[in-house]
Each structure stands twice: as structure tokens, then as C-alpha cells.
Structure 1
Amino acid sequence: MLAGTAEAQTTPAVPSLSQKPPPVTLGQVLLAPTAVFPDNQPIRSGLVWRVYEDKGDTTQPTIIARSTSPTPSFTLTPGNYIVHVAYGFAGASKRFTIQSGSVSDRLVISAGALKLKGAVGDATIPAGKLTFSVYVPIGSNSEGRLVIANARADEVIRLPEGTYHVVSTYGDANAIMRSDLKVETGKVTEATLNHRAATVTLKLVGAEGGEAFAGTAFSVLTPGGDVIREAIGAFPSVTLAEGDYVLIARHDGKVHTRDFKVESGLDRDVEIVAKP
């Protein structure tokens, strides 16, 4: 189900480069894991490795090493270890027993990524004015489980393979668009969510085109009376989904109102002329 419009494309991840492991001294062992997608394509970046000493099922594992290298090499004492690798919100883990020499193995991660942006018509929305929330649908609930909130435009969001529900918020009011997007293993899905919205600047003036009154309290309501946004100032701005609204301005103990309409892509001033 799509609520809003999204344009998506996928690009393959880039294979990683290998590096020469350090020499192993007497009484030490070398653990050199790598992370791959299910097709054995190496994962180049975005990895966080943690090595735990495995003391048995009854004891909490102790973390002894970390790395963000795509091809880490851990010099350890002989023993039992648990290696975990995180790729954003995806990951994999594996147990190792190393008594001598060196061990290299692959951990398989079924994951890809999302890279999101927003637009109004042909105009890209500045990244600082957008946030994204990503959900895993559960049953008929598209927002079953929140994975990440307040992600930014152009941020690479690494996720396990699957279908996600993305909510894009433009500004801090009701300009919201939704889309279901699929994350494929080893690929970055780039999507643009198209908003139908505009930014209006609210003003209370003594005469049309006149100076705005400072300290005015504004409320933006739906025609049914639901409050969408409140602000105080001479000319606050608010981004709204296209549609019909009621504006209320309070100043010096007086209340002034007017109806106005938001058209997608048409940023403008909305003035209320104060009545004596």
C-alpha cells in the first residue's frame, strides 16, 4: 500500500578491499573474520565488530576487542570466542575455538540499505527540513515496530532484508507522506517521497501589506477545529499539507480569524488584518 508517492531505485554495494594480517607471536592466535552478503560479495563499509570471550552459557560474555575495519585482524590468546558484526540494524554472530595459528571465516549478513530524500514537485526539499521514520509492518499494522526515528535525508540506513514502511515528515506540522519500500540484500534502495505541501508565513497586520505585530499568538486549525500548529511571534513560518485551514491570531486581548488555503509548492504569506 502506498500513501504518498515515492520513486525508488537500487544500486549495488561495492566490494571491500583485503588487507595483510599482522604476524602472530608465540602464545598468540589470530582471528581474521570478514562479513559478506549471501552471494559472498564482501561488505566494504558500515561494519562494527565486537569480540567476546566465551566463558560458557552461565557466564556473561566479556567484550575484549572492537574494530570498524571491513577486514579486521584480532590477535588473541588461545581460547573460545564469540564474534559479532553489526551492519547498521542488521548483524550476525559466530562462535570460534582457536588453540593455535590463525582462523579466518565469513559471517553472512542478509542486509541492504535505504537512502531517502523528499521533494515538492520538481524541487528537492532541503535535508534539514525533513525527517524519516522507518517501521517494520506487523500484520495489517503498517507501523507495527519502529526501527529508526528522525533519520535525515541522504543518510544511509542499513537494514535487514525485507519490506519497510517509511514515514516522511516535512517541517514540524502535518506535511507527512508514507511509502512501503523493499530493502534488497547487497543493494542501496534510493527513494524520493513526494510531498504535496507548502510553507506559509503567518502575520497579523494593521493594514494589508503592513508591518506585522510582534508577540502575536497564532493557531492553525482544520475546518473541523483540530489544532495543527501553534506559534508565537511577528511572522512565524509553518509547513502544511495542501488543503483548507483556519488561522486564529491573538494579540492585545483581541482574537482575529480568517480562512486560507494551502496549495502544493506555493510558499506565501498569510495575513490577518486586525480589526479595531
Structure 2
Amino acid sequence: MAALMLLAVPGGALAQQMSANTLPSAGTVVPALPFAGNTPSATPTKPAAKPAATAPAGAAPKAAADPHTILPQPPPGKAAIGMSARFGEKEGLVPRGLVWRVFADRPEPSGAYPLVAEAADPAPVFFLSPGGYVVHVSFGLASIARRIVVGDESRREQITLPAGGIKLQADIGDKQIPAQKVTFDIFEGSFLQGRASSRPYFRDANAGDLVILPAGDYYVVSTYGEGNAVIQADISVAPGKVTDATLHHRAAEIVLRLVNSAGGEAIADAQWSVLSPGGDSIKESINSTPTFVLAEGEYTAVARHDGKTYSKDFKVEAGKDEPVDVLVGEQATPPSLNTEEGSGD
């Protein structure tokens, strides 16, 4: 019942759009990716052609130089390991929001891998004793682990962390839906191609928030209000880029009222159901004047009050918010009940 449109516009380089109040917190639980051995991990499968974000017009982005031009002198018996991460081989460095953890590569008798060092700097330097380690770095919901072997000499290590961002909005007829009335669940895969995960990768994203994700294909489920206004859209996340996506709902806010006369005062203590043309229940409420967001289409409003039932058929048009008054008259039987049908107006 809901029409679906997706508008993706260039969002620019991710590094240019990040700020402290838009990054996920350091305590976010992130899925660990497989170890990449002594080389950066493989680049994710190239997404199918879809509307995707690009860098701003102008020259192609240049890979930034390694931030560790000079490494500090390490304490005796240790080596200085300068770490940094970039979005891709030809993409820029990740400028902030990174969380680094260094573990010994051999477990303790308990089975746990000892945490040796951690940092939240974009390019930390770790002083490590010779031996094997696993370096884990996370950025929002993107993360990767890499095994390194430290010897007597200090050196630089750079990790490729393919990650990008999306900013989501929703509107009706080019009128933006207030952020508090819409939420977004993000799933891995493609809804249109039938290869979608059944569990959200990120739940209840807010409109306008920058969500950092591993580069790849996702589909977004947008829920407007507390009715049946739900739509889906496929989105691609490119390394080092931000995709601004707007999902276009076709729905309206409907206020249900049981009244003695058209335009009169609503009767208290009414209980409500909204039914589809086939009699399936869409939404129920014990509020006397409930507000439902319903997708464009035809419905039946059923009011129960003082042992009687009243009903009215009505139509929802996209963007046309209005009250639906059910008049108190002859007792009516809604389509969902297997008794003789009456008139509710």
C-alpha cells in the first residue's frame, strides 16, 4: 500500500562530515571481522549499480601521507609501532572516531587473549615487546583485526578499514517528516534482490544521524508513526563516502473521533480498531481520540462504546492529515464480525 522512492545525493568525503556529536560512542558493540594476517583485509564485494554517494566535484581524492613521519624513541627492550587506518588503498586516512586495542596473539590458560594496550587516537604509537599481537580497530560499526609480529626495530603499520556513512531522512510530498516520528532499521544485503538479512544490523537509527557502517550493500526499513506506514529501500555504502538518502512515504496522520454529530465533541472512553478492506486488524487503541499514521489506501474505523459498536469506511490520501469522525447512530457490525452488517453513520 505504500509507494517507494529513494533519492541518493552526493554526501562528500566522510572525513569532511564527521564531528564529535555524530560519531557512534566508543562503547558501541561492533561485530569483529576475520583476521587479515599480515596484509590488509580484502575489499568487500563491489555493490551492484545503485544511487551511490561520490566525493565533491573537483579533483579526485588523494591518499594522505602516513602520519608517522618520525617515530618516538621506545623504552629499552621495546619497539615503537605507529598505527593508522585509511578507508581504502586510494582513500584518505580515518581522521577520528577510531578505537584501537592490542591483544597478545596467544591465549592465557583461561582461554582469554590478554589486552596489552588500547587507544582512541587516530594514529597512536604503541610500545611493544618483541612477539606476536592482534591489533583490532573499530570505527562506528566497522571493525577489522590484523596480526602483526614485532621485532627489535620500530616501524609503521597501516590498516585498510573499508567504511562509509549514511544519513537518512523521510518525507511525504517533499515535506520532511519530523525526526521524532520516523525511525530506520538497517539490514545487510538487498531487499530487491532477495538476499537480505532477517536481523537488523543497526536498529532505530534517527533521521539526520551519521551512521558509520562497513562498506557494502544494505537495505533500510523506514517506519513512520505507529501504524502501517513502512517502506524499504536498498542503499550502497562506499568507502570514505557519505550517502544522503531520503525515503518517500505515502501516508497520512488520521485522528479517530466518535461523535454525536459532525464536528462535535469527541465521546470519551471509546475503544478503536482500524481494519483493512478484507477485515484484517491494522491497529487498535483504547485512547478516546487515537492518532494513527496509515499508508495510502482504504480502511474501516470501528468504535466500541457503552456496549455498542459503530463503524465507518474512510480513505487515506498521502499527505492529507485529517480527523475521521464516526457518528453515533444505529448500532453497526464491522466486517470482521460474522453477524448481520449495519450502518454506523
TM-score normalised to structure 2 length: 0.72
Provide the residue aligned with 1:43 in structure 2: 94
Listed one character per residue, the Cα deviations across residues 74-127 of structure 1 (whole Å, up to 9, x for unaligned) are 344443221111223322221122244533211102221211110111211111
Listed one character per residue, the Cα deviations across residues 115-160 of structure 1 (whole Å, up to 9, x for unaligned) are 1110111211111111112222379524334322222111222222
Are 2:256 and 1:186 aligned?
Answer: no
Are 2:120 and 1:71 aligned?
Answer: no
Using a 3 Å threshold, how does the CA distance of structure 1 residues 227 and 29 change in structure 2: closer, same or farther?
A: same
Question: Is the partner of 1:14 in helix, strand or coil?
Answer: helix
Are 2:74 and 1:30 aligned?
Answer: no
Are 2:9 and 1:9 aligned?
Answer: yes
Provide the residue aligned with 1:176 in structure 2: 230
Say if 1:137 and 1:145, in contact at 8 Å, map to a contact too: no
Q: Tell me which moved more, 61-70 or 231-240.
A: 61-70
Say if 2:190 and 2:234, in contact at 8 Å, map to a contact too: no
Cα separation, 1, equivalents of 2:5 and 2:326: 34
Provide the residue aligned with 1:237 in structure 2: 291
Are 2:134 and 1:82 aligned?
Answer: yes
* Gap regions ≥5 residues in structure 2: 17-63, 331-345
Using a 3 Å threshold, how does the CA distance of structure 1 residues 91 and 221 change in structure 2: closer, same or farther?
A: same
Which one-letter code corresponds to 1:82 in the other structure? Answer: V
Cα separation, 2, equivalents of 1:274 and 1:224: 24
Cα separation, 2, equivalents of 1:116 and 1:86: 22
Cα separation, 1, equivalents of 2:183 and 2:123: 33
Which one-letter code corresponds to 1:126 in the other structure? Answer: P
* Gap regions ≥5 residues in structure 1: none
Provide the residue aligned with 1:129 in structure 2: 181
Deviation of the 1:18 alpha carbon:
4.9
Are 2:197 and 1:144 aligned?
Answer: yes
Of 34, 39, 60, the match for 2:112:
60
Cα separation, 1, equivalents of 2:277 and 2:97: 47
Say if 2:296 and 2:316, in contact at 8 Å, map to a contact too: yes
Using a 3 Å threshold, how does the CA distance of structure 1 residues 41 and 232 change in structure 2: closer, same or farther?
A: same
Using a 3 Å threshold, how does the CA distance of structure 1 residues 12 and 89 change in structure 2: closer, same or farther?
A: same
Cα separation, 2, equivalents of 1:169 and 1:82: 40
Of 306, 309, 319, the match for 1:252:
306
Deviation of the 1:182 alpha carbon:
1.4
Question: Is the partner of 2:319 in helix, strand or coil?
Answer: coil
Cα separation, 2, equivalents of 1:47 and 1:180: 27
Provide the residue aligned with 1:204 in structure 2: 258
Cα separation, 2, equivalents of 1:23 and 1:269: 73
Of 203, 214, 218, the match for 1:164:
218
Using a 3 Å threshold, how does the CA distance of structure 1 residues 23 and 268 change in structure 2: closer, same or farther?
A: farther
Provide the residue aligned with 1:97 in structure 2: 149
Where is the strand percentage greater, Structure 1 or Structure 2?
A: 1
Say if 2:190 and 2:217, in contact at 8 Å, map to a contact too: no
TM-score normalised to structure 1 length: 0.89
Listed one character per residue, the Cα deviations across residues 166-210 of structure 1 (whole Å, up to 9, x for unaligned) are 111111221112211111111111100011111011111222222
Deviation of the 1:242 alpha carbon:
0.8
Using a 3 Å threshold, how does the CA distance of structure 1 residues 239 and 60 change in structure 2: closer, same or farther?
A: same
Say if 1:165 and 1:178, in contact at 8 Å, map to a contact too: yes
